[in-house]
A and B are shown apart, each in its own frame.
Chain A
Amino acid sequence: MSNLPPGFREPSVEGEFEEYYLNMGPQHPSTHGALRLVIRLTGETIIEVVPHLGYIHRGMEKQAENLGYTQYIMMSDRQDYLTAIQNNLGVCLALEKGAGIGVPERAEYIRVIMTELGRIASHLVFYACYGGDLGGQTVLLYGFKEREMIHDIFEEVTGQRLTTNFFRPGGSRMDVPDTFIPRVKAFLAHLEKTLPDYDRLLTKNIALVERSVGVGKLTKEQALAYGCSGPVARASGVNYDVRKNDPYSIYSSLDFNVPVMYNGDCYDRYLIRWQEMYESIKIIKQCIEKFPAGPYRSKEKPNFKLPAGSFYAASETAKGLYGTYVVSTGGANPYRIHTRSPSFSNVSAVNAMAKGEKISDLVTILASIDPVIPEIDR
């Protein structure tokens, strides 16, 4: 036991094959960024996986102590850049709670439409990378195609494709253009035509099914113990979605379902994201119907400050529960900001998922978690 490398603790098993270690990352095409895993194997079977983090630790939380409150919104873009717009919202929710600012109706609708578009974009990247990691280059190209259209909308509205930096406490940075609603409508019409095609392209594909059904099982108890959230937890039967169970914005007035699956394997994690995409379309459609006129933000507060105290807001990004914890002492800078990133908890469960699987399944498992590493390391 004692002579194992740091992090490993399973007892050795006497087997046919010798034990050995394999390093994966920090530069590896399927670790989705600078993640390093050290894998202990016997033959091709994984005994244990130990994640080594911090290769993209950028010290955001320390830096935030020298930034203004609203400047941290820019940092949140760079945590999970696939769901940047949802992270913006997560930070703003916490700041609004602290400052006691309300949000006008139109702003709420803008928020929901934009974040749901972001969710679709993120899940499309998941779809593309999942297919790509399993060896289907074609899928990679398709997934990104529709995502670019969403980014066109983002660019028109926010001025940026990726790092949107759009929401502000009390609403958003600017109003949406008049073309916004027609454009979203046209996009949804297009998406509804193409999504089923993509679904057919991959979902029943024999290679995908064989490689992901029953692979990387995570039970409900494990998912809870690791603190998993989002699609990873919901694929293991944890029925928790912040939008439903702790509604923020106008989600309580919208009609949508939270898909839950019970096998907890890679295939369920894949399927659940498909259903979420359809649910997102449903949500956006409802919002478009009711999209109100009016101000896009509430009264601006110059020199945004929070009263002394600590504030917390949770929101649901495409990856799971995104929590922002702000401690203020009344000054112009936050005393401490901490982000609870969903990928962190999800990746910590990789050992539980990969134990006993084959080495090539680890790629599937990682892809099915859909982690974004800068969000873990922050």
Chain B
Amino acid sequence: MGIMNFVPKVLDPVPGGKYVVNMVDYVVNWARANSLWPLTYGTSCCAIEMMSSSMARYDIARFGSEVFRDSPRQADLFIIAGTITEKMAPAVQMLWEQIPGPKYAIAMGACTISGGPFRYDNYSVVRGAEQVIPVDVYIPGCPPRPEALFNGLLKLREKIMKESYRNPWHEGETSKAGEIERWAEASKAWAAAEKIKDEEMAAAREAFKANPPEDYVAYKPVRVAKEAFPDVERPVVTEIGKSYKELYKIAKSVAPELSIFGKEDSSDETLDSLPKDLPLDVVVSKENYLKLVEFLKNDSRTKFEVLTDVVGVDWKDHFDVIAQLLSVEYGHKMFVRVSLPKDESIPEEKRATSLLASIPSLSSLFVGAELKEREVYDLFGIKFEGHPDLRRLFMPEDFVGYPLRKDFTHPHILKKPV
């Protein structure tokens, strides 16, 4: 901008110079407002609506913003579409800093306003984009419709049209106030406005009652009969592939200590009484876990070739790790569960940050187990012995604690007020 900033200083004192400045402002603003080039950026759901708005039906080109730039250095509008997580926040900040000024930001969607659906009880979401970068326009919605995005764009244009070389663009500020205080303030203002509204409404109602119009007929609500819905039986299902009895027998031959999860005994009657639409869920000891899964994978009668998932459950006094197996050929499924007692030798104050149990890794059998086990390691703090690359998967390396444990606490969690 440089030299242009002196234009008002020089011209304003000159008679008639004001009008020249106004005109220059108008032309510059008009040009800026009508060709906002957005950055191609999107993290989640809202990004799809942003894409829709640039496609044939909605055609953002009508508003001069069709030139989505892949590099922040060529963009001047940052549409923050999608949730910002704490891991992503530094990247968002860097992108903003790389955009040359004058630049503008539109916060699209509830997530970028307040955290949206992820506001409460959440340890990883940044509650609002203004915590990270200065925002010009907020668009509510989850996700906002493309029309809403256009509305936001037009609002931004209005804002740009108010700029002038007397009052040039400057970078706004991110929210410095603590989030709780801001919300407390906002809700106080809201309550005050509500009170005024209530009083006005009450007064209006009184006035109406005292002096109703002549053709006024009191409104009578119509009652719609409540629809009655039937109780529907679930269809009868049969086991797919091998029956539970067979599967159980085959597995038992490898691991004699095998038992059925949630059942006292493993007699034939119990096996017959298991619900047929749920997979067979067996509990095995930690020692035989790897051996059993390897056997089930290779045996021609079971052929569990796919490890669909590895799931952890925290039962307060112990962990369960469940390997979910699937046979593509036969179609049967099986859950192999290991119950892992928590390591009691770790002192109380260190428990939240240390690994409390360990289990052999399945990564030697299934390559795909690597990432899945890293997820369990990351979220539960369970060690996988023999895993080639045990690092955190979702949370940053320096994150403290294991989120899916039942006793997990984190300073960033905001409890839902009741």
Interface residues, chain A, CB within 8 Å of chain B? Answer: 6-7, 9, 26-29, 33-34, 51, 53-63, 65-66, 74-75, 77-78, 81-82, 96-97, 100-104, 125, 140-142, 144-145, 147-148, 151, 161-163, 170-171, 222, 224-229, 238-240, 245-246, 295, 297-300, 309-314, 321, 323, 325, 327, 335-336, 338, 340, 344-345, 348-349, 352, 373-374, 377
Q: A54-B395, A82-B48, A97-B278 are in contact. Are A225 and B368 (CB under 8 A)?
A: yes
- Determine the chain A residues whose CB is within 8 A of the CB of B305 once the complex forms: 224-225
Contacting pair A74 B117 (CB below 8 A):
yes
- Determine the chain B residues whose CB is within 8 A of the CB of A55 once the complex forms: 43, 85, 87-88, 91
Residue from the list B43, B49, B120 in contact with A162, Cβ < 8 A = B49
Residue from the list B122, B227, B309, B331 in contact with A338, Cβ < 8 A = B309
Contacting pair A59 B45 (CB below 8 A):
no
Which of these binds chain A: B30-38, B52-60, B149-157? B52-60
Q: Mark B291-305, 1 if CB is under 8 A from A, else 0.
A: 000000000000001
Q: A7-B391, A57-B124, A246-B331 are in contact. Are A66 and B416 (CB under 8 A)?
A: yes
- Determine the chain A residues whose CB is within 8 A of the CB of B389 once the complex forms: 6-7, 9
Contacting pair B229 A295 (CB below 8 A):
yes
B42 close to A (CB within 8 Å): yes
Bound CA span A364–B192, Å: 56
Within 8 A of A (CB), among B174-205: none
Residue of B nearest to A141 (CB): B56
Residue from the list B41, B120, B142, B324 in contact with A323, Cβ < 8 A = B324
Residue from the list B230, B311, B393, B404 in contact with A325, Cβ < 8 A = B311
Bound CA span A144–B55, Å: 7
B206 close to A (CB within 8 Å): no
- Determine the chain B residues whose CB is within 8 A of the CB of A377 once the complex forms: 394
Residue of A nearest to B416 (CB): A66
- Determine the chain B residues whose CB is within 8 A of the CB of A101 once the complex forms: 232, 234
Q: A27-B95, A224-B306 are in contact. Are A374 and B55 (CB under 8 A)?
A: no
Interface residues, chain B, CB within 8 Å of chain A? Answer: 40-45, 47-49, 51-52, 55-57, 70, 82-83, 85, 87-88, 91, 95, 117-118, 120-125, 142-143, 145, 227, 229-235, 240, 261-262, 275, 277-279, 281, 305-309, 311, 313-314, 322, 324, 326, 328, 331, 333, 335, 366-368, 370-372, 379, 388-389, 391-396, 403-404, 408, 416
Q: A54-B87, A56-B88 are in contact. Are A144 and B313 (CB under 8 A)?
A: no
Q: A58-B85, A299-B230 are in contact. Are A144 and B56 (CB under 8 A)?
A: yes
Contacting pair A58 B118 (CB below 8 A):
yes
Pick from A62, A144, A151, A311 the residue with the most CB of B within 10 Å. Answer: A62
Q: A9-B388, A56-B43 are in contact. Are A345 and B368 (CB under 8 A)?
A: yes
Contacting pair A321 B48 (CB below 8 A):
no
Q: A26-B88, A298-B231 are in contact. Are A224 and B328 (CB under 8 A)?
A: yes
B378 to chain A, nearest CB (A): 8
